[in-house]
Amino acid sequence: MLVAAAVCPHPPLIVPELAGAAAHELDGLRAACREALAELDAAAPDRLVVVGGAESAGSYGGRSAGTLRPWGVDVTVGEGEPVLPLSLTIGRRLLGERRADGFEAVAFDAEPAGCLALGETLAREGRVALLVMADGSARLTPKSPGYHDPAAEPYNDLVVRAVADADAAALAQLDPGEAAGLWVAGRAALQVLAGAAGREGSGGGLKGRLLADAAPYGVGYFVATWT
């Protein structure tokens, strides 16, 4: 069963070495991520699994490595040849010395039913905690990577409310086409969380807490815990 979850963003700039002189702009998000991970620790799960979006699905062992070399900084985390996609690499970096029991990449365009089923499978054995790497819309302002779309802000707010309220049912209902049009990179990963918590209810009895909600570069970044 799912006993706790943390939702964190995965921009490369959350790694201070990559952000350089602008590192302070994401200090609040970094602090919120540290607080969220401390709440996962407090839940004392039997298993910790990191979930994040990627171009294609894949399952990786808990010691797997990822690198930020493609983004211009020689930072590698984990052991062995780097295989983790960006979202899971950032997740591995946020974990620090913590041990993960596995990493699950879910395709950005995965159908909701498959995401929900994956979440149910991940939460089936023992007391499970998930670290879910999920960005919001990248079309919030004219300077956003996807440029501005007036529909982006209300949609991003909807996602943030669902995460803040541990509303698994609302996350389960997110439409993949609408999310893709608004450049919501975290939709599939959040629906894995919904499946793990119980798609029909409000987080399977877990309570949500929003720790951060910001868009410093026109992209929705939020941090929350379900405990």
In angstroms, the CA 154 to CA 160 distance is 10
- Name which of 101, 108, 98 is nearest 42 in CA terms: 98
Residue the block writes with tokens 């010691």: 63
Q: What's the N-to-C CA distance of the chain in angstroms?
A: 12
Q: What confidence score (pLDDT) does residue 62 get?
A: 97
What percentage of the chain carries pLDDT values higher than 90? 87
pLDDT given at position 13? 87
pLDDT at 19: 58
Residue 25 has a pLDDT of 79
Q: Note the pLDDT of residue 190.
A: 98
With tokens 């951060």, the residue in question is 212
pLDDT digits (tens, 9 = 90+) for 47-94: 999 999 999 999 999 999 999 999 888 899 999 999 999 999 999 999
Taking the domain 2-226, which CATH number applies? 3.40.830.10
Residues whose CB falls within 8 Å of the CB of residue 1, separated by 6 or more in sequence, listed in order? 123, 126, 127, 128, 204
Query: pLDDT (tens digit, 9 = 90+) per residue, 106-121?
Result: 999 999 999 999 999 9
pLDDT digit string, tens, across residues 119-168: 999 999 899 999 999 999 999 999 999 999 999 999 999 999 999 999 99
- Residue 50 forms beta bridges with which residues? 103, 131
* Domain residue spans of the chain: 2-226
Query: Using 50, 70 and 90 to split pLDDT, how confident is the model at 225?
Result: very high
